[in-house]
Amino acid sequence: MIEITVKLRSKVGPDGRGQFQPTSFTEWIGRRVEVTGLDPALHHVLKAVENTEDGATSTLTIESHAEQGPDITADLSVRWDTPTSEVRAHVDGEHLVTARLDAPLQPGQTVRAGDQLYTVADVSHPARQDDGTTDGPDYQHVELTPIEEPPPVRDLGASAFGALLAGG
């Protein structure tokens, strides 16, 4: 599970107040939400909301999770309504794959490359400057850590399962 904080800013009117009310978005706490820039393949649940007194900003805390992460070797976004993110994934410093995804990856997120599961260990945007400009192509550099395979499930067979249920 990944926790993400999204800060929304409102236009401020001539009276110095923004458009957010003290209760804005609070009715959605505990429900699934969709937010531009977050991967639509994941489940996003709003966990907390903090609205400023002047109505200028609203900070949303969202927990994101998936049953299994996206397969980054087969993921290419062709959605016209959402900007995409170029992701260059590495394992132990070695380039694994470059993908164009609907959202940047987040630390702690689980992804797949074929049949191998990985955890996103670290992310960076090497071309981004502090002032918001870029120096070269804008991409996300991602370091992945392999997830060890779970132990194999032992097949007890139908008769052994029946014996377990019967207390034998």
Any domain includes 55: yes
pLDDT at 149: 62
Same domain membership, residue 97 and residue 43? no
Comparing 165 with 71, the larger pLDDT belongs to 71
92 located within any domain: yes
The verdict on residue 155 lying in a domain is no
Q: Is residue 168 in a domain?
A: no
Tens digit of each residue's pLDDT (9 = 90 or more) over 36-70: 878 777 778 899 999 999 999 999 999 887 666 66
Residues 98, 136 within the same domain = yes
What average pLDDT does this structure show over 114-140?
87
pLDDT recorded at residue 113 = 81
What is the domain count for the chain? 2
pLDDT for the residue 77: 57
* Residue 162 belongs to some domain of the structure: no
Residue with tokens 């008769």: 159
- pLDDT score for 75: 56
Buried b (16+ CB within 10 A) or exposed e, 50-74: ebeeebbebebebebeeeebbbbee
Host domain of residue 54: 2-65
In a domain, 158, yes or no: no
The domain boundary, picked from 34, 65, 96, lies at 65
Q: Quote the CA–CA distance of 98 and 90 in Å, as a whole number.
A: 9
**What is the pLDDT averaged over residues 88-98?**
92
Among the candidates 65, 100, 116, a domain finishes at: 65
| pTM exceeds 0.95 | no
Q: pLDDT of 95-114, one tens digit each?
A: 998 888 878 888 988 888 87
Do residue 61 and residue 90 come from a single domain? no
Does 160 score more than 50 pLDDT?
no
Say if 36 falls within a structural domain: yes
Q: Tell me whether residue 30 is in a domain.
A: yes
Do 10 and 52 reside in the same domain of the chain?
yes
What DSSP letter does each residue of the chain carry, written as one string? -EEEEEEEE----TTS--S--TTTTGGGTTSB---TTS-TTSEEEEEEEEE-TTSSEEEEEEEEE-SS--BTTS-B---SSS--EEEEEEETTEEEEEEEESS---TT-EEEETTEEEEEEEEE-TTB-TTS-BSS---EEEEEEEPPPPPPPP--HHHHHHHHHTT-
